[in-house]
Amino acid sequence: MARFTLPRDIYYGKGSLETLKTLKGKKAMVVVGGGSMKRFGFLDQAVNYLKEAGMEVELFENVEPDPSVETVMKGAEAMKKFQPDWIVAMGGGSPIDAAKAMWAFYEYPDTTFEQLITPFHFPELRQKAKFAAIPSTSGTATEVTAFSVITDYAKGIKYPLADFNITPDVAIVDPALAETMPQTLTAHTGMDALTHAIEAYVSTLHTPFTDPLALKAIQMVFQYLPASYEGDKEAREQMHYAQCLAGMAFSNALLGIVHSMAHKTGAAFSTGHIPHGCANAIYLPYVIQYNAKNPEALARYAEIARYAGLTGNSDEELMQALRAKIQEFNVKLNIPKDLKDFGIQEAEFKEKVAAIAENAVGDACTGSNPRAITPAQMEQLFRCVYYGTEVDF
């Protein structure tokens, strides 16, 4: 038996934030990030709509990027005091991810992160509250996924939480919130969404339920991301929907080694953080070349290329056309072509690559990649993404 899980309701379109008026409940805890939602007036709007729904509202503000265990515990504590029957998380991926974990600790105060990290073994949520998610960036799609990432800074560990219990009940995909994204964030989150859709389409766990969502998302990103990057509002709106479709696909089909590599390199180098979507965008063309050695994966990349309107006389040519298209996008979006170009120092790369490669193979996303990979192959692949060389093994 297989399972395909999405939020009960997805409201979308300009002004759909208003749907908060229709939620049925007594108390709502609104979880937000650093201030852009407040600055642009969306937080006030959300609070007012919830009050119109007859709810008492309390805020939990200032969730940091890459939210910490401490923030999650503080939020859960605030929820225990306030006893909300709705948790409303709004902003980028971080406040929504944090709120998902707070929800688990609010409902089960005696649980631990160690218990929660076993994939798909959460206790039954919704005993106390339901969950609404409202994204302000167009990439992570956490508003529709079963995932959350929480960082334990003391131990230097990221806890990837995965369970359909934390798939929100309601997602509100209002493009007005995404109009405020700065240009670089638009590029990175857009390429993250493209990576989600492509990895979900070739994942070993892809299904007839996830395939159409992934293909449509890919086609929409190709169609709208460049204009969205240039600030076109109509294109921004379409990107906000495309990333959500990609999220519905990958929440159920999972991902692959582009994400394994991005997870383990994001904070690995002393020269600074590599933003998640930027790392994905750099690695994606190389990983396609690696995975395409598997004939089934090659055929599926060719299907993507055909669906996206690219041409070629064989699956190999179609796959290369897809890679070329992604590389062309990276140039347009000012994304470096390899890690050297990004500014990672060669000496530090050489010193760390073996350990990073081993960590990447152990990442939760490696299991559903269409071609298996050993730590030695992963190290070789990392050398290709560092120097920008062909993947010929």
Choose between 177 and 365: whose C-beta lies nearer to Fe ion. Answer: 365
Which listed range, 24-32, 82-90, 188-196, 342-350, lies at the site for Fe ion (CB under 5 A)? 188-196
Which listed range, 30-38, 110-118, 158-166, 186-194, lies at the site for Fe ion (CB under 5 A)? 186-194
Choose between 66 and 192: whose C-beta lies nearer to Fe ion. Answer: 192
Q: How far is the CB of 308 from Fe ion (least distance, A)?
A: 20
Q: How far is the CB of 248 from Fe ion (least distance, A)?
A: 14
Q: How far is the CB of 287 from Fe ion (least distance, A)?
A: 13
**Residue with smallest beta-carbon separation from Fe ion:** 192
Q: How far is the CB of 1 from Fe ion (least distance, A)?
A: 27
Choose between 163 and 192: whose C-beta lies nearer to Fe ion. Answer: 192
Which listed range, 35-43, 185-193, 317-325, 360-368, lies at the site for Fe ion (CB under 5 A)? 185-193
Q: How far is the CB of 97 from Fe ion (least distance, A)?
A: 12
Q: How far is the CB of 192 from Fe ion (least distance, A)?
A: 4
Residue 66 interacts with Fe ion (CB under 5 A)? no
Judged by CB under 5 A, which of 192, 303, 315, 379 binds Fe ion?
A: 192
**8 Å CB contact between 275 and 27:** no
Choose between 188 and 323: whose C-beta lies nearer to Fe ion. Answer: 188
Size of the site for Fe ion (CB under 5 A): 1
Choose between 13 and 266: whose C-beta lies nearer to Fe ion. Answer: 266
Which listed range, 30-38, 176-184, 187-195, 312-320, lies at the site for Fe ion (CB under 5 A)? 187-195
Which listed range, 68-76, 159-167, 168-176, 190-198, lies at the site for Fe ion (CB under 5 A)? 190-198
Task: List residues binding Fe ion (CB under 5 A).
Answer: 192
